[in-house]
Structure 1
Amino acid sequence: MSDPLITNASVVVDDVRMIYRVNAEEGDGRRRRLWHRATQVHALKGVSLVARQGETIGILGHNGSGKSTLLRIIAGFEPPTSGSVLASSTPTFLGVNAALQPELSGTRNVRLGLLAIGLTPKQADAAMPDVLELAALGDAIHRPMKTYSSGMGARLRFAIAAAAQPDILLIDEALATGDAATKARSDERMKTIREQAGTIFLVSHAAQVIEEMCTRAIWLHEGQIISDGPAHQTARAYRWWAWCEAKGETDKAQVVLDDVISRYSRVRVSLAEPRNKRTRKARARR
């Protein structure tokens, strides 16, 4: 695919590369002499994509494939080594480690969170009932957050972030927990964001979550996009590959991988700014 028309684009990622420098330690065993050797880790290798208004895009990949790195770069938390990222508005980032105040109750944290994402005190008061309903924590909302399970904390953070009515919402593994009722509420809220011409990125290694919650899916493998298409299609291919890997059937897994790679055409984008459309590099809100 060459030079796609960037109509209704909310996020444009152009040939992004991310290289980390780390120090590896080595020893000779008996004397245990250690020395440091500068090593480069190529987390992303020329990633390009165009996200449009109204899309929910799942990002799949095994641990270390570059999923969270890509999300953090889109969020503006760290600059890429090379390449460009443009966003039509400031993204709102929701991560499983996004910190509120563990000593405070869920109710107090909701109010703090709403103020932190830019709502006025009056708007925060008005939004509270909807946030509490979406989080669905029951009486636990009055307990300190430090007593919450990871799933409870994730639901609370999602409910707070969704109250901002973000144009661009970035979610890192936050919705993989919860019962059917909780999932239904989250699905409905994400649908509302999409209908308001928002864009959602959802990072997960769970193909079923991506298939059920997204309209489009991107498969990252060793820092490169190897598939980008309808969520059900990409998720099913990833699920089959992951099953083969888990069963130790590496030959079958490689066949799946080769087939997926052969079908993917790398996106090349032009960042010439459209007339009357302002795009800018933006740092995400937490």
Structure 2
Amino acid sequence: MSEAVFGAALDADAEPTVVVDDVHLTYRITGRHASAGAPAALKRMVQRQPPPGMREVHAVRGVSLIARRGEAIGLIGPNGSGKSTLLRAIAGLMTPESGAIYTQGQPSLLGVAAALMNDMTGERNVVLGCLAMGMTPEEVKEHYDAICEFADIGEFISLPMKTYSSGMAARLRFAIAAAKSHEVLLIDEALATGDAEFRRRSEARIRELREAAGTVFLVSHGLSVVRETCGRAIWLEKGRVVADGEANAVVGAYEARHDPKAVEERLAAAAAGGKLWSAAEEPSSA
């Protein structure tokens, strides 16, 4: 696949916050029959042999990008395209097989599986989450009410996290992470489980974080969220960049390949009077 570029999303003179340089990421899956006792494991270690049943997945293949201060970047692509794996590497949770990743400050990863303590109450998780992000106890007190109001889980805030629905837990995670401005905020499908009102508030908060001179990466299968929230989009497929540029154009090209029905519906709406693209933003094949 050749990479397509759809215009510049931001002034190239803006300060870089993330540089990904020809990165390859591989993770290993071990089969359930891999264990054969300590002697066999020791022998494999000495002989540098992989465990039986181990399979390597080359998830990201030579990705390069530069993210700049003030950008909100959507990562789109089919399941298994390497989006979440790339975010984990930017967050420092995976080491590249080759290539390098450079970041300004410590990126903060927020995902639907982001770790909060299930046996602790929402109240306690708010405090611990804020302290983990580097807030002082005074700042935690200052932000506490706003976090609870944003999460909108009512009396559940005093109950253990394990009693929450997936949507309630996702709202609380996002509310905690968004309480502080981040130099680099990585969001992995965390908006997918909220209702429409929560998504609107979350999108508004992402814009505020971006305007506060941060950089936001958003992984989402909700293409409308990427259109409304991000100025730039990067389309990944089979671990490679297919297109990188202005969000509407990249999302339009992605829909043209993977969801032509959505393109037909959008063009029909435009013909009926709801203009959705300028001529420069018409989707084209990558």
Query: Which TM-score applies when normalising by structure 1?
Result: 0.77
Aligned residue number for residue 99 of structure 1: 115
In the alignment, does 2:22 pair up with 1:15? yes
Q: Decide whether the 8 Å contact of 1:176 with 1:209 is kept in 2.
A: no
Q: 1:77 to 1:6 in 2, by over 3 A?
A: farther
SS in 1 for 2:285: helix
Q: How many residues align?
A: 240
**Letter in structure 1 aligned against 2:146:** D
CA distance in 2: counterparts of 1:97 and 1:37, whole angstroms: 27
Aligned residue number for residue 268 of structure 1: none
Gap runs ≥5 in structure 2: 6-10, 34-50, 263-283
CA distance in 1: counterparts of 2:116 and 2:246, whole angstroms: 35
Q: CA deviation at 1:43?
A: 0.9
Q: How does 1:30-41 map to 2 (within 5 A)?
A: 36=52, 39-41=55-57
SS in 2 for 1:62: coil
Query: Which TM-score applies when normalising by structure 2?
Result: 0.77
CA distance in 2: counterparts of 1:8 and 1:176, whole angstroms: 30
CA distance in 1: counterparts of 2:173 and 2:32, whole angstroms: 38
| RMSD of aligned alpha carbons | 2.6
State the Cα deviation string for residues 131-164 of structure 1 (Å, max 9, x = none): 1121121222222211111111111111111122
CA distance in 2: counterparts of 1:230 and 1:190, whole angstroms: 17
Q: CA deviation at 1:98?
A: 1.3
CA distance in 2: counterparts of 1:11 and 1:168, whole angstroms: 8
State the Cα deviation string for residues 179-199 of structure 1 (Å, max 9, x = none): 232122212211111111100
Q: Decide whether the 8 Å contact of 1:25 with 1:36 is kept in 2.
A: no
Aligned residue number for residue 269 of structure 1: none
Structure having greater relative contact order (Cα 8 Å, sep ≥ 6): 1
Aligned residue number for residue 259 of structure 1: 285
Q: 1:210 to 1:54 in 2, by over 3 A?
A: same
Q: Decide whether the 8 Å contact of 1:100 with 1:113 is kept in 2.
A: yes
Q: Decide whether the 8 Å contact of 1:94 with 1:161 is kept in 2.
A: yes
In the alignment, does 2:140 pair up with 1:140? no
Q: CA deviation at 1:41?
A: 2.3
Q: 1:40 to 1:198 in 2, by over 3 A?
A: same
Q: CA deviation at 1:9?
A: 0.7
State the Cα deviation string for residues 97-153 of structure 1 (Å, max 9, x = none): 112121222122111111111111111111101111211212222222111111111
2:187 to 171, 174, 189: 171
Q: 1:194 to 1:16 in 2, by over 3 A?
A: same
CA distance in 1: counterparts of 2:124 and 2:26, whole angstroms: 40
Identity of aligned residues (%): 50
1:47 to 63, 82, 94: 63
Q: 1:38 to 1:153 in 2, by over 3 A?
A: closer
2:139 to 123, 126, 148: 123
Gap runs ≥5 in structure 1: 27-34, 247-257, 261-286
Q: 1:82 to 1:119 in 2, by over 3 A?
A: same
SS in 2 for 1:219: strand
Segments of 4+ in structure 1 off by > 6 A? none
